[in-house]
Structure 1
Amino acid sequence: MSGRGGIAGAFGWAPLVRGFEAVDEVALVGGKGRSLQELRAVGAPVPEGVILTTAFSAALPHEDEPLPPRCVEALDEARRRLGGGPLIVRSSAVGEDGRTAAFAGLLESIFPVDGGDPAALLSAVRRCVASRAAPRVRAYEQARSVRLQGVAVVVQRLVQSAAAGVLFTDGVWLRGEWCRGHGQALVDGAITPGAFRLDRRAAEATRRVAHVERPPEDGSTFPLSDHAARELVKHATTLERRRGVSLDVEWTVDPEGELWIVQARPVTDRRTFLWSNANISENFPAPVTPLLVSFARAGYEAYFRNLAREFGIEDARIAAHDEAFRDIVDAHGARLYYNLSHIHAVLRLMPFGDWFVDSFDVFVGAGASSPEGRRVVDELASLARVLAHVARAYRDLPARVSRFERVVDEVASRLHPREVATMPSPRLGEGLDVILDVRLRRWIDASLADCAAAVTYRALGALLRLIDHDDAGAAHADPDPATRHHALLEGLDVAGAWSLRALWDLAVAVAADARAREALVACGGSFATFRAALAPEIGARVDDWLDRFGFRGSGELLLTEPSLAEDPDRLLPLLTRYVEAVGDPNVESPARALERQRAARERETARLRERLGGPRRVLRALFDALVRATQTSVQLRERARFRQALLYTRLRGVALALGRRFVEAGITDAVDDVFFLRFDELVDLAADRAPPGDVRALVASRRAEHAALSALDLPDVFTLPAGAFVLPTDLDVAASPSIELPPEGGVLRGVPASGGRISGRAAVLSGLADAGKLAPGDVLVAKQTDPGWAPLFFLVKGLVLERGGMLSHGSILARELGIPSVVGVPEATTRITHGRDIDVDGDTGHVRLD
């Protein structure tokens, strides 16, 4: 249930009046009423009002009959809440403002209505209810094969409107129209309105937000101030994410320039999908090629299908929602994006699926979503079966992740670079099939670890909020829930830190060996020279590190980025920094940092357990179980991610080996042409089944398209019509706003990810190759980090990321090392210049520019 109204209605005592404070079921408040409640829920400026519910309309008698006392009381309550003055009275039908039928303008909206005149208010309410049966409404119902199921009535204070307009959120830009006054002329089509567009990225950015494309026929100037335009972007896109569809948002501006949002309905007549790069950009931070896109499409579809089966969702139900499993990821602007509309539809196959949707969105940092309000009794019917499947799936989760590790290790051994170098093309093609088989059929154990991390993290947060609620006002209550939450996840032994601890041990060995130290200084950046000068024992340790961890690196899943093992020259600046750190008495080793964070976590855990004594022993047992489950699932998820990087590196190695064979055979011109072939095309070529047409021409065409798309600067979230893709012309690059210079001071805000506070010099980096720019005590600033960045974490004292959430890999690693961290900071890499002094507060999520 999404509000009390549905529960009340089930017992026949549904309320006659509702406010905007909660989000009720559409059956109680109608489409427009529910929309206004959702707008208020996301903090949008909605004129004060009440909703006379469908129960009120059902109880409203004919005009020649006396009003029941309940209806009189409801009208009196509406007038008490809103006072005198002008009102607007609007219909809110069940089925209005939906995804497939808007009924725009067909039902009554009456203004101004004298709020001090009971008879005038009653008359307006009656007209709205009666409009349900108007001939124009009946005709629309027949034409669209839909039917309204009831009518509520919205009564609001009437805003004195200086200008009004509409904003459409379908597209990478937000486009809108406006005119003078209340906007009736715009709705009626009586004038040619002004046209404008807003930059999606401008809600918390330094970009110029508004661009006027055409003045209106009435000659009025653009009515939105810069602040009002940013607020409109923020509220429209927040509600868009919550609902998962593109919206038609109606707004107005009063004579003082204050913005009010008066309605938001889904864009009808065409399906739209909500795309988001939250979390997926952490794994794939740069433009992706056709080979990776085709591999990812197949992999993510299998990921969600296999999870649905594992959790006991019936095959018939999965088949009925087949489309939702397709195209769960795709490329826009040569970047990978999640199709959140499809993912949400898949997750809602689960009982209480709205909770899983919200858990996924928290997990990936995509914002909130809108509940569907399915009946609790229907959800409970399938819950027992699903719980039995889930219990079996998670009973042996550590063993299942170990099984996944063995599978990947076996494939990685068979496709080791030493083996691949001499394989003929057909065997390399077989290697591709093996890798795809792992991704499509053997990945379920890793998927379960992902789900466990998302669900247990969310459940632990809910339990901590419950404890806070019970302790409200107590002396030991926590002032900052986020700080306490991530304190329980500090000092975990996660796989992301394995490479940096091993690199520290290697640096200790190099620092202790005079010959190795001299070779590191004298090699001139050449790994071959460095390696040739090492003693056998040290040389063997270097080789071992590269073999075990050299596949890791920034952009390690992109396929197009060479690993440290392929390009070991890039290891030398990193190793140099580590050797310098070994000799610095003020630098704490990774092992000591882990122990310090582990001790802090254990103290915090003990403190919270102490609060749950006495009559709350059951709550303590639940707390203990959830803490263990969350910590374990996070560790298992990171172990699976470690093997994912290994498998993708092997895929790159096989592809490049085929690329060399193709160049030798005259099929392609360059080794890396293979990245511009789809996975199935690459398999066919390996088996001597050439795709139709000229492979060279195909690759050249895709390279040109890839270059054009890679130049686009797309928003992190946008909606597009079904089947549509972003083209270079969609963003109108020539007319795009330029970035203004960042302010000299101020505070940037993000998500607190790892506690503590640190001040230092900002090091704005793009990857491991920039390690030479780091200095002791720097704060790392980056767009995002994947686990391949791990060796850099040890060299910095703070972390600021543009993307990510509490469960992103960077956040997890930062908590292990005790690095104060803030993630999800919009435009951090453009607003913070390299070398600038900043202050990072990992408890509040604030980054201060000094």
Structure 2
Amino acid sequence: MQLGVGVYVLALSEVTAEMSDLVGGKAAGLGALIRHGERVPEGFCVTTEAHRNGVVPVAEIIAAYERLGAGPVAVRSSATAEDLPDASFAGQQDTVLGVTGAAELVAAVEKCWDSLHSDRATAYREAHEIDQHELAMAVVVQRMVTPTVAGVLYTANPLTGRRDEMVVDAAPGLGTTVVDGGTAVDHYVLDGVARDDTGCLTSAQLERLRAAGERLAGHFGCPQDVEWAIDADDVLWLLQSRPITSLFPLPPATGKPLPRVFLEFGHVQGMLRPVTPMGMATLRAQITATLAALGVRVEIVDIGGRLYGDLTDLARSRSSRRRLVKLMAVDFGPRAQAVMRHVLADPRFAPTSGGRGTAQRAASLRTAGRAAVGIGRALARPDTARIRLFEAIDQLRARSVAPDDLRTTAERLRFVEARDDTDHSDAIMWPIVAGMLATALPSPLLKGIAGPDEIHAVLGGMPHNVTIEMDLALWRLAQGVGEHRRLLLDTPPDELAARHLRGALPDIGMADFLDAYGHRGAAEVDLGVPRWAEDPTPVFAALANYLRVTDPEQGPDQRFRRAAATAETALRDLVARARRQRPVRGRIAGFLLGRARSLAGLREAGKFAGLYPLRETRRQLLLIGADLTDAGLLDQRDDIMFLTLDEVCVAVHQGVDQRDVVASRRSAHRRELRRRSVPVALLSDGTDVETVLARVPGGDGTLVGVGASAGRVTGPARVVHDPATAHVEPGDVLVTATTDPGWTPLFLTAAALVSETGAIMAHGPTVAREYGIPAVICVPDATRTITTGQLVTVDGGAGAVTVH
């Protein structure tokens, strides 16, 4: 048969994987099952050519139906955007079962066609950013199986992510009762443990399903979601097999003893989005170097485009496991602490007899010595430490600029290859660590004297924070726009950005702002992400939000001053009370809190400094990318960010076309960008550790998190996924998955912050405290549970969010 235009009906046995544009995702999957020798009900496909033709090919359908022997059939939608690697379309388009007769069959085909543009299917495609214009619908018609029992088989546990468990949901009769959720089902977890014949499936049937699952996962190379049915003759029929789209990718094999535990590091930087391949290499080197400077050896791996650290050796070490949970309090936060407590209680991670080698002990002692000197100096003379830190940052900025004599692609590449973007000078590192310690240590010292909310109040309005200074600089710019106010409020931010880059925007001071802060941006630690200087759209969006603040008392400068004054008063009162009740502890805590106010604001400075060399490396890479585009080896200059440095070398020196590599990685990156939930910790078998922890119950309408900035506010929720397009009204409660410094301009307008991740001393809560707005972090699924416009109360002291 000649395939292509005019092919309206095709037997399923003739369908191949290459025909997905002609037969849709479901039919392509069924054709693959048949070709692998699986038992699939006989049938045919009404192709997308018929749908595009707009007229049901009645004669061809009836002829194919009669070849099946007529009788009852199942009619299922099979759209071209269906059963994709990241979108199953489960239940989004129509299925009609038990269809009998030609007229009823034609009507069922039309019903499936119409469901392509149903409200639910359209909304689903929009949520998955799938192009609506090139869609077409094929329809699968199969001989109806009359099952005694039917259901769904998952070849990996879809709840926990474990790849060594299969899950079966089954019920007597048609499988629609299982997939539609319309009845109680029998639930089985196939984990290799023998079981009694209870429920609607026998142990022999479960074993056949397990064997089929192993075959299918092997055939398709990934975990599968399988619909199946068993008829009265105990014959197992496979009705569909598609990827389990919700699973987070499996950790890479390390060749080391199993199991292993991996902790997600990206949320420390307020970033859950996937990192570009070029950015991944840089970040891995930076994190490894930072940890090594602190005397910690951790292997950083790429899982789903995110940065995970293999903490297995630390968890199994007798010396380090005792401190592991406490060390996570500052940067990783309560969620990471909870999963690590669970891991340390797991017998599989029991401490081993092996210890650190002589070289490692010596390195740790050297690090400890440098740390003691650096931290001690900073605590003794904080003003001097600050001066030296900012001098070191200025020197790093000057050193970051590339030489003027770089002319050729090869010269630029040599410059990039020779760079070391992992500068961690003592002048920058130890004052920051000293400030973090001065912030963390008073809490245990003041136990029974002061609560967390009182200590948080002391940490408000913290000076010397480069991110706060950046936000206030933008506020001052907003205050001076004068006659251009309506232009900035009424023009879309992306259009304002384009005008600015063309030099067609009135001078409002944006050029000076970007000269100082244009190397920043959301997800700024990723080398592959544009800086504000390249695309100032987020800055103009934040500027418009600032212009909506009309009450001078709600201006961020006033809020910051009030927070600072409140903090100083709280510090005096707290220290006086503590010294009365516990004189020695009170003196120590008072000293540390005073030093925290001098040094803790420096926390952002290290990252701020590290962005200078990143900016120059990115600039040189984009110039190389432009040359490779001119040579026909890339489609556009920023494609270079989806290559590794070795692949760039091959393209530059050997002329290798990298466009197919880039296209594949961009597609995977787009899929991961749509993922809204990233596991805090994974085991080597794919287990999302948080899924096996006991949930902390909340009251009616109350979401439980961790209080990170004291105060209580009620206001309308504003769920934001992208700061570049966020419209935040004064008084809105900002609800996000995570935040990094690129998000903090939004805090100047928001009344409170709610986030799904974070740590007490992370970027978002730190800035929230300094503006005096309540913050609750680590609220599971906040961006899905809360919707924009809902009235919510944020209680930063209690760590609770109430949805009214």
Report the CA distance shift for 1:539/1:432 in structure 2 as closer, same or farther (over 3 A): same
SS in 1 for 2:509: helix
2-structure distance, mates of 1:533, 1:300 = 37
1-structure distance, mates of 2:501, 2:556 = 29
User: Which of 278, 284, 291 in structure 2 is aligned with 1:304?
Assistant: 291
Using the TM superposition, give the Cα deviation of residue 530 of structure 1 relative to its aligned residue in structure 2, in angstroms. 6.1
Report the CA distance shift for 1:534/1:518 in structure 2 as closer, same or farther (over 3 A): farther
Using the TM superposition, give the Cα deviation of residue 210 of structure 1 relative to its aligned residue in structure 2, in angstroms. 11
Using the TM superposition, give the Cα deviation of residue 592 of structure 1 relative to its aligned residue in structure 2, in angstroms. 1.7
Using the TM superposition, give the Cα deviation of residue 833 of structure 1 relative to its aligned residue in structure 2, in angstroms. 0.6
Deviates more, 1:401-410 or 1:598-607: 401-410
Q: Does 2:776 match 1:808?
A: no
Q: Does 2:424 match 1:461?
A: no
SS in 2 for 1:758: strand
8 Å contact kept, 1:556–1:648: no
Q: Partner of 1:572 in structure 2? A: 540
2-structure distance, mates of 1:293, 1:556 = 12
Using the TM superposition, give the Cα deviation of residue 442 of structure 1 relative to its aligned residue in structure 2, in angstroms. 3.8
Q: After superposition, where does 1:271-286 map in structure 2 within 5 Å?
A: 271-277=258-264, 280=267, 282-286=269-273
SS in 2 for 1:276: strand
Q: After superposition, where does 1:434-453 map in structure 2 within 5 Å?
A: 436-439=419-422, 441-442=423-424, 446-448=428-430, 451-453=433-435
Using the TM superposition, give the Cα deviation of residue 423 of structure 1 relative to its aligned residue in structure 2, in angstroms. 4.8
2-structure distance, mates of 1:551, 1:270 = 42
Q: Does 2:762 match 1:762?
A: no
1-structure distance, mates of 2:497, 2:678 = 43
Using the TM superposition, give the Cα deviation of residue 667 of structure 1 relative to its aligned residue in structure 2, in angstroms. 2.4
8 Å contact kept, 1:660–1:671: yes
2-structure distance, mates of 1:700, 1:522 = 37
8 Å contact kept, 2:421–2:610: no
Using the TM superposition, give the Cα deviation of residue 288 of structure 1 relative to its aligned residue in structure 2, in angstroms. 1.5
Using the TM superposition, give the Cα deviation of residue 848 of structure 1 relative to its aligned residue in structure 2, in angstroms. 0.2
Using the TM superposition, give the Cα deviation of residue 794 of structure 1 relative to its aligned residue in structure 2, in angstroms. 0.2
Q: Does 2:725 match 1:777?
A: no
User: Which of 420, 426, 432 in structure 1 is aligned with 2:416?
Assistant: 432
Report the CA distance shift for 1:487/1:398 in structure 2 as closer, same or farther (over 3 A): same
8 Å contact kept, 1:554–1:768: yes
SS in 1 for 2:626: helix
1-structure distance, mates of 2:699, 2:560 = 36
8 Å contact kept, 2:314–2:321: no
8 Å contact kept, 1:519–1:533: no
Q: Partner of 2:31 in structure 1? A: none
SS in 2 for 1:662: helix
SS in 2 for 1:539: coil
8 Å contact kept, 1:783–1:829: yes
CA deviation digits over 1:501-526, x for unaligned, max 9? 1111111111xx32x33543575653
Q: Partner of 2:82 in structure 1? A: none
Q: Does 2:297 match 1:325?
A: yes
Give the TM-score, by structure 1 length: 0.57
8 Å contact kept, 2:629–2:635: yes
Q: Partner of 1:717 in structure 2? A: 680
- Which runs of no fewer than 5 residues in structure 1 stay unpaired? 1-167, 178-192, 198-207, 223-267, 309-323, 469-476, 737-742
Q: Partner of 2:702 in structure 1? A: 747
8 Å contact kept, 2:438–2:596: yes
Using the TM superposition, give the Cα deviation of residue 653 of structure 1 relative to its aligned residue in structure 2, in angstroms. 2.6
Amino acid at match of 2:260: F
Q: Partner of 2:197 in structure 1? A: 219
Using the TM superposition, give the Cα deviation of residue 714 of structure 1 relative to its aligned residue in structure 2, in angstroms. 6.2
1-structure distance, mates of 2:678, 2:540 = 36
Using the TM superposition, give the Cα deviation of residue 400 of structure 1 relative to its aligned residue in structure 2, in angstroms. 5.4
| Count of aligned residue pairs for this structure pair | 549
User: Which of 261, 265, 281 in structure 2 is aligned with 1:294?
Assistant: 281
User: Which of 529, 540, 544 in structure 2 is aligned with 1:561?
Assistant: 529
Q: Partner of 1:491 in structure 2? A: 461
Using the TM superposition, give the Cα deviation of residue 698 of structure 1 relative to its aligned residue in structure 2, in angstroms. 3.4
1-structure distance, mates of 2:675, 2:747 = 30
Amino acid at match of 2:198: S
Q: Does 2:370 match 1:389?
A: yes
2-structure distance, mates of 1:423, 1:269 = 45
8 Å contact kept, 2:794–2:801: yes
8 Å contact kept, 1:171–1:720: no
- Which runs of no fewer than 5 residues in structure 2 stay unpaired? 1-155, 171-183, 201-254, 345-349, 379-384, 692-697
2-structure distance, mates of 1:297, 1:614 = 48
1-structure distance, mates of 2:750, 2:632 = 48
CA deviation digits over 1:229-274, x for unaligned, max 9? xxxxxxxxxxxxxxxxxxxxxxxxxxxxxxxxxxxxxxx9942221
8 Å contact kept, 2:413–2:621: no
1-structure distance, mates of 2:635, 2:766 = 43
CA deviation digits over 1:90-116, x for unaligned, max 9? xxxxxxxxxxxxxxxxxxxxxxxxxxx
Q: Partner of 1:597 in structure 2? A: 563
Using the TM superposition, give the Cα deviation of residue 399 of structure 1 relative to its aligned residue in structure 2, in angstroms. 5.3
Report the CA distance shift for 1:330/1:284 in structure 2 as closer, same or farther (over 3 A): farther
Using the TM superposition, give the Cα deviation of residue 293 of structure 1 relative to its aligned residue in structure 2, in angstroms. 1.5
Amino acid at match of 1:464: L
Q: Does 2:587 match 1:621?
A: yes
Using the TM superposition, give the Cα deviation of residue 554 of structure 1 relative to its aligned residue in structure 2, in angstroms. 1.9
Seq. identity, % = 27
SS in 1 for 2:301: strand
SS in 1 for 2:188: strand
SS in 1 for 2:793: strand
SS in 2 for 1:689: helix
Amino acid at match of 1:296: L
Q: Partner of 2:476 in structure 1? A: 505
Report the CA distance shift for 1:570/1:462 in structure 2 as closer, same or farther (over 3 A): closer
8 Å contact kept, 2:402–2:616: no
1-structure distance, mates of 2:578, 2:779 = 35
8 Å contact kept, 2:293–2:424: no
Give the TM-score, by structure 2 length: 0.60
8 Å contact kept, 2:276–2:642: yes
Q: After superposition, where does 1:652-801 map in structure 2 within 5 Å?
A: 652-682=618-648, 684=649, 688-690=652-654, 694-707=657-670, 715-721=678-684, 746-772=701-727, 774-801=728-755
Q: After superposition, where does 1:333-344 map in structure 2 within 5 Å?
A: 333-342=304-313
Amino acid at match of 1:698: V
User: Which of 568, 593, 606 in structure 2 is aligned with 1:640?
Assistant: 606
Report the CA distance shift for 1:685/1:593 in structure 2 as closer, same or farther (over 3 A): farther
Q: After superposition, where does 1:168-317 map in structure 2 within 5 Å?
A: 173-174=161-162, 212-213=188-189, 217-220=195-198, 270-277=257-264, 280=267, 282-308=269-295
1-structure distance, mates of 2:501, 2:368 = 59
Report the CA distance shift for 1:708/1:785 in structure 2 as closer, same or farther (over 3 A): closer
Using the TM superposition, give the Cα deviation of residue 174 of structure 1 relative to its aligned residue in structure 2, in angstroms. 4.5
Using the TM superposition, give the Cα deviation of residue 598 of structure 1 relative to its aligned residue in structure 2, in angstroms. 1.2
RMSD: 4.4
Q: After superposition, where does 1:2-81 map in structure 2 within 5 Å?
A: none
8 Å contact kept, 2:278–2:528: no
Report the CA distance shift for 1:561/1:269 in structure 2 as closer, same or farther (over 3 A): closer
Deviates more, 1:538-547 or 1:802-811: 538-547
Using the TM superposition, give the Cα deviation of residue 625 of structure 1 relative to its aligned residue in structure 2, in angstroms. 2.4
2-structure distance, mates of 1:217, 1:616 = 60
Report the CA distance shift for 1:700/1:567 in structure 2 as closer, same or farther (over 3 A): closer
User: Which of 480, 505, 527 in structure 1 is aligned with 2:496?
Assistant: 527
Using the TM superposition, give the Cα deviation of residue 575 of structure 1 relative to its aligned residue in structure 2, in angstroms. 1.9
2-structure distance, mates of 1:364, 1:452 = 18
8 Å contact kept, 1:782–1:828: yes
1-structure distance, mates of 2:504, 2:657 = 52
Amino acid at match of 1:401: L
2-structure distance, mates of 1:540, 1:341 = 53
1-structure distance, mates of 2:629, 2:566 = 56
Report the CA distance shift for 1:194/1:550 in structure 2 as closer, same or farther (over 3 A): closer
8 Å contact kept, 1:755–1:842: yes
Using the TM superposition, give the Cα deviation of residue 845 of structure 1 relative to its aligned residue in structure 2, in angstroms. 0.5
CA deviation digits over 1:137-192, x for unaligned, max 9? xxxxxxxxxxxxxxxxxxxxxxxxxxxxxxx9999524798xxxxxxxxxxxxxxx
